[in-house]
Chains A and B, each alone.
Chain A
């Protein structure tokens, strides 16, 4: 239960920080970063959140099903732009693989020279 409290607490903290900064970055994302930093700085011990975090991570897929079902509500808009969606996503994915792979390989080999 302490683990669940910690997760909720950081969620709240992140949401509060997001509110203070004009909602520029979503609260849950800030909560994630704050939790990460607290673990790095040893404010929180990994054992304290391990159980709760593992449960949520294992079943993460379930949590975005309600949003996904929203497909039914925006079906026509998506259908209209399906070509743009497919081409843009595919081309951009190829670029990401290439850019990350090339830069990482180049910088890593420098490191070993």
Chain B
């Protein structure tokens, strides 16, 4: 009976079950703090802790889900293609602002975290904080960070950006729909896009595109900036 709880079948069923329930709960309540990733992580962590299952054992049992993460990152290429139509006429403005935003985001988080004495592994985990979780976690793993920290930071940053972002845009008197959508999507990925959609359809669509652009550009810029920062 006990060994059954440690089995791959049980752990996979438990994980997907927790995810399904968390998604259902979020769709019912629409509360940002009940983000399905946060609630399912909480349930699973409490679950395996109380069953006495060590993390390496859990990770081994759920390896197949982890593998599918890579496939879903590839699938983002399709999403980016579908969203490209929103770039019409403003390609330069969009690419420039997202590129600068990406670099500013990476460099500022490195410098501030460094100044506050953070461990290098922590800093690597924070570098991709503004981008969609799947890409962020991949980038973090690649640069020697802690993927779990990145996953949680990304969600929290998304919620923070979605709440604070519109206030900053107002203070800076940014009224362009394109600029609002881009800023929210670049800084707060899908959570920011949900907020942008409340502002309007154009803002929402542009914000969705910004998630992809920011993700790709940041994935390329993180290794580049890491090399440059080493010599500074």
Name B223's closest neighbour in chain A (CB-CB). A24
In the complex, are the beta carbons of B134 and A97 less than 8 A apart?
no
Name A24's closest neighbour in chain B (CB-CB). B223
In the complex, are the beta carbons of B179 and A96 less than 8 A apart?
no
In the complex, are the beta carbons of A36 and B112 less than 8 A apart?
no
In the complex, are the beta carbons of A64 and B37 less than 8 A apart?
yes
Interface centre among A11, A40, A91, A105 (most CB of B within 10 A): A105
Size of the chain B interface, CB-CB below 8 angstroms? 104
A5, B176: Cα distance in complex, Å: 41
In the complex, are the beta carbons of B45 and A29 less than 8 A apart?
no
Q: Which of A90-104 contact B (CB under 8 A)?
A: 90-104
Name B35's closest neighbour in chain A (CB-CB). A61
Chain A contact residues (Cβ within 8 angstroms of B): what range? 35 or more
Kindly supply a per-residue 1/0 record for chain B positions 138-175, scoring 1 wherever the CB is within 8 Å of any chain A CB and 0 otherwise. 11011000111101110011001100110011001011
In the complex, are the beta carbons of B59 and A70 less than 8 A apart?
yes
A51 to chain B, nearest CB (A): 10
Residues of chain B within 8 A (CB-CB) of A36 are 77-78, 80-81
From A46, A69, A108, B44 is in contact (CB under 8 Å) with A69
In the complex, are the beta carbons of A105 and B76 less than 8 A apart?
no
In the complex, are the beta carbons of A28 and B74 less than 8 A apart?
yes
A63, B77: Cα distance in complex, Å: 17
Kindly supply a per-residue 1/0 record for chain A positions 17-59, scoring 1 wherever the CB is within 8 Å of any chain B CB and 0 otherwise. 0000001111111011111100110000010011011001101
Instruction: Name B's A-contacting residues (CB within 8 A).
Output: 15-16, 18-19, 23, 36-37, 40-41, 44-45, 48-49, 55-56, 58-59, 62-63, 65-66, 68-82, 84, 89-90, 92-94, 96-98, 100-102, 104-105, 108-109, 112-113, 116-119, 121-122, 126, 129-130, 133-135, 137-139, 141-142, 146-149, 151-153, 156-157, 160-161, 164-165, 168-169, 172, 174-176, 178-180, 182-184, 186-188, 210, 216, 219-220, 223
The 3 closest A-B pairs by CB, nearest first: A35-B77, A70-B148, A107-B93
- 15 inter-chain pairs at a CB distance below 8 angstroms, sorted by A residue, are A24-B223, A26-B219, A40-B81, A50-B78, A62-B65, A67-B147, A68-B37, A68-B41, A68-B148, A70-B55, A78-B146, A84-B113, A97-B169, A101-B172, A111-B90
